[in-house]
Chains A and B, each alone.
Chain A
């Protein structure tokens, strides 16, 4: 195929998905590496593929579970791809899947696993772990972090809220828009047996009265931190036609960020952005669809404000329309205007760094979601916003090819 922007459309599919039991932060009885193995085995079983046939591993956010160790542990016959998406934390989730798809389309690998594992009791994160000025031997800080940490500007919530507040200021976005996103995730989680927050419904009053984390984020605007692992298995479209279950074809995938997004000390020129503005045109061009064609969206919510910005930058509404569009009735399965985070997402199912959102997109296409939507043949997954690089993915059923 020529080097045009439709290069990956329909050439690769997700044929297996798997996760471990999801646990609260620090509560996994298993070490992180075992969690990774279990998720990969579950995804292979779902795909009907012998794990020894895996020949590629892709991950993101500096996952600690080394592909060579995974390959040795699983008895992989022929490791051909060990890929890590640089930077961006959860923003790299869809990019990792895109990297896997590109490798398969190029003939560099045949059966590629995309995975992410987190055991937070084993490894600290955010505020008290290594690199936050609080670990032993970590008394000083330099580089980009030196412009933040001495000011108590430490965790992702601190960095991201500054972008969200700028966006809300520029476009007069109200608290209620953020609240609708939180309520939607909690609503969907109530019917999901995998969801950590099942049995803990959220209403407007509880949201409004919950404590501030950082204004304008209440407690319920912020994702959980969890233990667990998730994995996807990708193969070529030719092989996917004989898959054990209905395949989810990759129609479009794109990563990146806008001009000088990586400037330190909050100097990104277009600061009040989720950083998708240059990514989504490429995404939709590859997929040959537009926002109006998308039936269901899984949008990474570490913080609700980022979802407002992500959805806007994916063309579902102008920023000034956010207050009108973002109402619970528009966002819920089965037939809201744009069903959102139908598993409960990072807020209420599990924070598996957004990889659970990709699994949910596959389940929607298969008709296996616990909150199945009516228009389920074309799904969008938006990986972590507000970072660089970000990434997004559009998957579709065979009928959409």
Chain B
């Protein structure tokens, strides 16, 4: 599926920190890979990224590819735009998705499809990569769609 980004261009562009902590994640999305942290010593999943494993204190943290599938953990539909770009895009859905295949760590995103659909907590969702190749610098996001369908965002 190659559709327009969920929001008009102009929101902040995500980039890795100067120290590069989250670079594997952001670079992975451009290649349509979801890479999250997993400790090489104790196998614990960890997100957001950190330099140390919170479970065993190893600094030997790896990045493992995960299936972009999960369940809606929490969600909210936004009606009030907090800036001029979003004023062209309300209402929109915020979702936090938990990933059972990655220790139930959570990622935030938008729920693609008609904003007037419901986003029930617990509903299964599948990931969809949203590319911004013309942005400076280019970046990609991971977005979510209700498993088994959902219509295109009505404009």
Contacts and interface: CB of A to CB of B under 8 A. Distances in A.
A174 interface: no
A218 to B, nearest CB: 10
Nearest to B74: A166
A35 to B, nearest CB: 25
Interface in B51-104: 54, 73-80, 82-86, 89, 91-92, 94, 96
A264 B12 contact: no
B75 A162 contact: yes
A72 interface: no
A270 to B, nearest CB: 13
B11 interface: yes
A189 to B, nearest CB: 22
Contact of A141 (B15, B78, B137): B15
B150 interface: no
A139 B12 contact: yes
Interface in A7-36: none
B106 A151 contact: no
Nearest to B120: A169
B22 interface: yes
Contacts of B82: 126-128, 132, 154-155, 157-158
A271 interface: yes
A166 B121 contact: yes
Contact of B108 (A127, A169, A265): A265
B16 interface: yes
A246 B93 CA distance: 51
B22 A142 contact: yes
A147 B96 CA distance: 11
B73 A271 contact: yes
A146 B11 CA distance: 11
Given A142-B22, A143-B22, A166-B74, A148 B108 contact: yes
A152 B7 contact: yes
Contact of B94 (A127, A152, A271, A272): A152
A263 to B, nearest CB: 6
B30 interface: no
B78 A152 contact: yes
A315 interface: no
Contacts of A211: 79-80
B83 A154 contact: yes
A147 B76 contact: no
Chain A facing B: main interface SS: loop
B12 A158 contact: no
* Residue of A141, A145, A165 with highest tally of chain B CB at under 10 A: A165
A165 B106 contact: no
Interface string B6-43: 11000111111110011000100000000000000000
Interface string A210-223: 01111110000000
A151 B109 contact: yes
Nearest to A161: B76
Interface string A250-271: 0000000000100111110001
Contact of B86 (A152, A166, A169, A213): A152
Contacts of B91: 212
Contact of B78 (A128, A140, A147, A214): A214
Contacts of B80: 157, 211-214
A162 B13 contact: no
A153 interface: yes
A133 interface: yes
Contact of A163 (B15, B49, B74): B74
Given A165-B76, A265-B48, A265-B107, A152 B89 contact: yes
Contacts of B7: 150, 152
Contacts of B96: 162, 266
A265 B107 CA distance: 6
A127 B85 CA distance: 10
Interface in A149-205: 149-155, 157-158, 161-163, 165-166, 169
Contacts of A278: none
Given A127-B82, A215-B76, A271-B74, A141 B13 contact: yes
Most chain B beta-carbon neighbours within 10 Å: one of A133, A145, A213, A266: A266
B76 A267 contact: no
Interface of A: 126-128, 132-134, 138-155, 157-158, 161-163, 165-166, 169, 211-216, 260, 263-267, 271-272
Enumerate the 7 nearest inter-chain pairs by beta-carbon distance, A residue then B residue, closest first.
A133-B12, A264-B48, A127-B82, A146-B14, A141-B12, A212-B79, A166-B74
